[in-house]
Structure 1
Amino acid sequence: MEPSNIVLVGFMGTGKSTVGKTLASRLGWKFVDTDALIEERQGMSISDIFATAGEKAFRDIESETIAITLDGTRQVIATGGGAVLAEQNRKVMQARGWVVALTADAETIISRVSQDQNRPLVQGDVKERVHTLLETRKHAYDFAGKRIDTGSLSVEEIVAEIVAAMPN
């Protein structure tokens, strides 16, 4: 039986949104980026939510958004990098979808995110923040059913690997 949803998890800059769009197109499924959905519903950027309400308020909104989104089916869902930190999110992801973790080494991530001003957790010294966050989250994605290192693969290669590994 094919999964009702595919949930992409992973550190920022590992390719969740880029891979998710291509994967959804290939499967004929809907693509949902939970960060984009949060920004649309809240009427402000993630950075602004962090600045005005704080990380805890953002994480609460994120958990609610993930749970509501996972009520649907035939979706490829790209989650925010820190979404896996809450146990309730991990549980609902596993219960209502097949979880795929996208990974990359620190240097790849730094090169991908260093120019992006919309990432509140890497403001300031990007290298130091990425290394610190990677260390604190090194086991956060272990619950995923599949792991793919996106560092040296093209989007098409990653999508092909996910499709080939899909439970059926």
Structure 2
Amino acid sequence: MSGTEVSAEQVGMLVLIGAPGAGKSTVGRRLANRLSLPFVDVDQLIEQTSGREIADIFATDGEATFRELERAATVAALAGSEEQVVSLGGGAPMTEAIAEALAPHHVVWLKVSPGAAADRVGLNVARPLLLGNVRSRLVSLLNARTPTYQRLADHVVETDDHGADDIVELIIEHRRELERR
């Protein structure tokens, strides 16, 4: 590990938001490991509790059912006082109940361009909202979601030119700066 160790008491709950391909799951897992905190990936939580893959929920029950499962899982994950790192699904912040639940937490927007996100996501069929022309769908999603991400974020990290470990370091350094104030 590089840099000074950061204790859980210093960090609080960190919540990662951003578009598909921004690196929320990868960065979240590494950030939690670096900070010795639990990691919650809400998409994985939904799959574990429902016993189904997200793509299957979308295909069988539709987006509205998925969004309700996402709302319940996310609000529950954010309701606890436990120090942890939480990775949200890309569309989760668009749900008002989730946006409200984010208020007491430190929200980090992992900002990614459509081109970089498309390169990272590829033709991943496990992402039902990106089926078809991936780059075009990402442009549409980002146009719709960027204002919400901007409104909710306490900190923005540009991810296009950074690897996951660099992004983790940028988040930790930002937290250290906040603690010095």
Q: TM-score range by the shorter chain?
A: over 0.9
Q: Tell me, what secondary structure is at the counterpart of 2:102? A: helix
- Which position in structure 2 is the counterpart of 1:157? 166
Q: C-alpha distance in 2, partners of 1:113/1:60? A: 24
Q: C-alpha distance in 1, partners of 2:79/2:136? A: 37
- Provide the alpha-carbon RMSD of the alignment: 1.3
Kindly provide the CA deviation profile for residues 44-75 of structure 1, in whole angstroms up to 9, marking residues without a partner as x.
11111111111111111111101111233111
Higher RCO structure, 1 or 2 (CA under 8 Å, sep 6+) = 1
Could you tell me the TM-score, scaled by structure 2's length? 0.88
Query: How far did residue 3 of structure 1 move?
Result: 4.6
Aligned partner (choices 40, 48, 53) of residue 32 of structure 1: 40
Query: How far did residue 138 of structure 1 move?
Result: 2.2
Q: C-alpha distance in 1, partners of 2:97/2:136? A: 29
Give the letter aligned to residue 103 of structure 1.
K
Q: C-alpha distance in 1, partners of 2:169/2:103? A: 22
Give the letter aligned to residue 106 of structure 1.
P
Structure 2 gaps of 5+ residues are 1-8
Q: Does 1:93 align with 2:102?
A: yes
Structure number with bigger Rg: 2
1:138-149 equivalent positions in 2, closer than 5 A: 138-142=146-150, 143-149=152-158
Q: C-alpha distance in 1, partners of 2:77/2:113? A: 29
- Which position in structure 1 is the counterpart of 2:16? 8
Aligned pairs, how many?
Answer: 167
1:119-138 equivalent positions in 2, closer than 5 A: 119-138=127-146
Q: C-alpha distance in 2, partners of 1:30/1:116? A: 27
Q: Percent same amino acid among aligned pairs?
A: 37
Q: C-alpha distance in 2, partners of 1:164/1:132? A: 32
